[in-house]
């Protein structure tokens, strides 16, 4: 689309710009701001280029005159990525912020009249363009034909409060390179571990960097930048200039909680395990919930949440709790847990009896039902009238499904309710008993694949990640599912600490 200013039949060309991604051109105009066609599925680290027809005054090229607005729930928030002018003097680079743009979010770039050419000419109006970021988290940039970080690892894992850390990595490219390393603790700001860029190093060399400050409990990420030696990086964020970067996520535990823990070796390396999980595609791809929107996970986040050592503390250990029946849990305890949970309130007797009969932990079972039924408020848990099953007319009855079993994406209510009818779950108690049988026979007490004892999925971790047969028969796609569920178990058993519990933790080669 081209927009011209026409006056008395004469075409007047002022300052012209092109958003190079779509080769969309705008000229000055006397009308309201031009909004160009949007660009969708933009990679999170994409650098947005704006080409002008004249050389610009460098001092007018900044993140005030070229604004970036992040849109969340219809509300815009101005962000301030680095906005730079290329050596040609005509191309503006709107660099991605540190770690890239947020997946699935819309951003608006507005070029204001404050941008001026060297001859003083500016736009007669603002020009605005919308970008929608693709549904894929990233943990490294992908700027081609430039040096990049090949591998970035922590030397010590798990890390415990008071430990120091050492990073090992290699840099890929040609000739001499330099690196710069930053650390971010969630809830804090980035701080530099190196003192500016390093001395020159040879590309391809395995390198180590020791961080001499002790770490405190919390969640961290380190970001390693690389560039060609003795030259300015092609891109820039609020940390530094760079050619490419890579991120590693990790946790620092308060203490190791290894009481009553049994370790099982699965005969597979963590690298291979993570590769298998990350390479799942389509609806099975690992993902996480970002404010109500599902985002495909980056590979390093899959590693973070699937590596058992990251959760061997009081907060995370319950994802390794064996979910078989244990003595000492009473109806009164379950009554308190189920209170104010919609249709599940007052069903503690049914939960306890169903759990004991099917050899599953009643607390886990109740928590699972609370979560899947949206605290007892879901349509399926509160009853759906069914008069047709698999295309056959049946006697109309109300059915209940507290776990949403068989609620497949294409038609979840119909399929789950028809399944409940076939199982004769015509009241809430029969639905509870049926759900207990389902998770017992398909996860906790009977392996679906093979006959290896360790194939039984009797922990939250094994239900989510299935280390005996990775990427097959996994209960959830959410990388945080086991950790989120374990928090409810932790709260209950911290309150009732006299109950004997056993834990089983996977080991990778």
Segment 292-303 mean pLDDT: 96
Pick from 141, 150, 146: which is nearest to 233 by CA?
146
* Residues 411-462 pLDDT 10s: 999 999 999 999 999 999 999 999 999 999 999 998 877 677 789 999 999 9
Domain boundaries, the chain: 34-133, 140-253, 256-324+450-508, 326-444
Residues 153-169 have a mean pLDDT of 95
Mean pLDDT (the chain, rounded): 92
Quickly name the fold that domain 34-133 has: Immunoglobulin-like (2.60.40)
- Nearest to 142, CA basis, from 220, 233, 47, 229: 47
What is the rounded CA–CA span in Å between residue 197 and residue 165?
Answer: 19
Between CA 60 and CA 54 the distance in angstroms is 13
Span 139-159, mean pLDDT?
A: 95
Judge if 34-133 and 140-253 fold alike in CATH terms: yes
- Predicted TM-score (pTM) of the model is 0.90
Residue 463 confidence (pLDDT) above 80:
yes
Q: How far is the C-alpha of 294 from the C-alpha of 253, rounded, in Å?
A: 27
The β-bridge relationship of strands 127-133 and 34-35 is parallel
The Cα–Cα gap between 458 and 260 comes to: 16
Looking at residue 20, what is its pLDDT?
Answer: 60
Its sign, for the CA torsion 364, 368, 374, 380, is negative
Is the predicted pLDDT of residue 13 greater than 60, yes or no? Answer: no
140-253: which CATH architecture?
Answer: Sandwich (2.60)
Report d(CA 372, CA 194) in Å as an integer. 46
**CB under 8 Å to 65, separation ≥6 — which residues?**
111, 112, 114, 115
Q: Average pLDDT, stretch 465-471?
A: 95
Predicted confidence at residue 98, as pLDDT, reads 96
- Kindly state the average pLDDT of the residues 152-170: 96
């Amino acid at each position: 689309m081209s927009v011209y200013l026409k006056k008395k039949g004469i075409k007047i060309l002022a300052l012209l710009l092109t958003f190079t991604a779509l080769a969309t051109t705008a000229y000055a105009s006397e009308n309201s701001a031009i909004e160009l066609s949007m660009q969708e599925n933009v990679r999170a680290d994409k650098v947005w280029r704006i080409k002008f027809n004249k050389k610009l005054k460098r001092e007018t090229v900044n993140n005030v005159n070229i604004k970036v607005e992040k849109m969340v729930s219809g509300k815009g928030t101005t962000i301030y990525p680095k906005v730079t002018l290329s050596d040609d003097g005509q191309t503006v680079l709107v660099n991605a912020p540190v770690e890239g743009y947020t997946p699935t979010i819309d951003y608006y770039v507005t070029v204001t009249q404050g941008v001026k050419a060297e001859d003083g000419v500016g736009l007669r109006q603002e020009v605005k363009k919308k970008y929608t970021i693709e549904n894929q988290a990233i943990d490294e940039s992908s700027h081609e034909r430039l040096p990049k970080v090949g591998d970035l690892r922590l030397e010590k894992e798990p890390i415990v409060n008071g430990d120091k850390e050492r990073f090992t990595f290699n840099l890929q490219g040609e000739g001499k390179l330099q690196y710069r390393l930053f650390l971010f603790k969630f809830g804090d700001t980035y701080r530099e571990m190196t003192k500016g860029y390093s001395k020159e190093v040879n590309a391809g060399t395995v390198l180590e960097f020791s961080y001499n400050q002790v770490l405190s409990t919390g969640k961290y990420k380190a970001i390693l930048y690389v560039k060609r030696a003795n030259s300015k990086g092609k891109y820039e964020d609020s940390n530094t200039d760079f050619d490419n970067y890579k991120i590693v996520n990790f946790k620092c535990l308060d203490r190791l909680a290894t009481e009553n823990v049994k370790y099982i070796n699965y005969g597979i390396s963590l690298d291979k395990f993570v590769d298998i999980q990350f390479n799942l595609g389509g609806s099975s791809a690992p993902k996480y919930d970002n404010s109500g929107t599902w985002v495909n996970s980056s590979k390093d986040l899959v590693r973070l949440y699937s590596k058992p050592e990251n959760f061997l503390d009081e907060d995370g250990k319950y994802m390794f709790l064996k979910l078989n029946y244990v003595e000492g849990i009473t109806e009164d305890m379950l009554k308190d847990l189920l209170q104010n949970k919609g249709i599940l309130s007052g069903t503690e007797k049914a939960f306890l009896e169903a759990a004991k009969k099917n050899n599953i932990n009643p607390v886990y079972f109740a928590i699972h039902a609370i979560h899947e039924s949206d605290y007892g408020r879901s349509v399926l848990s509160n009853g759906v009238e069914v008069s047709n099953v698999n295309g056959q007319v049946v006697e109309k009855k109300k059915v209940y499904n507290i776990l949403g079993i068989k609620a497949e994406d294409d038609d979840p209510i119909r399929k789950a309710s028809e399944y409940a009818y076939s199982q004769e779950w015509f009241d809430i108690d029969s639905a509870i008993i049926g759900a207990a049988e389902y998770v017992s026979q398909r996860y906790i007490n009977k392996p679906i694949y093979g006959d290896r004892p360790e194939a039984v999925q009797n922990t939250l971790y094994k239900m989510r990640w299935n280390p005996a047969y990775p990427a097959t028969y996994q209960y959830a796609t959410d990388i945080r599912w086991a950790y989120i569920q374990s928090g409810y178990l932790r709260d209950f058993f911290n309150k009732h600490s006299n109950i004997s519990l056993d834990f089983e933790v996977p080991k990778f080669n």
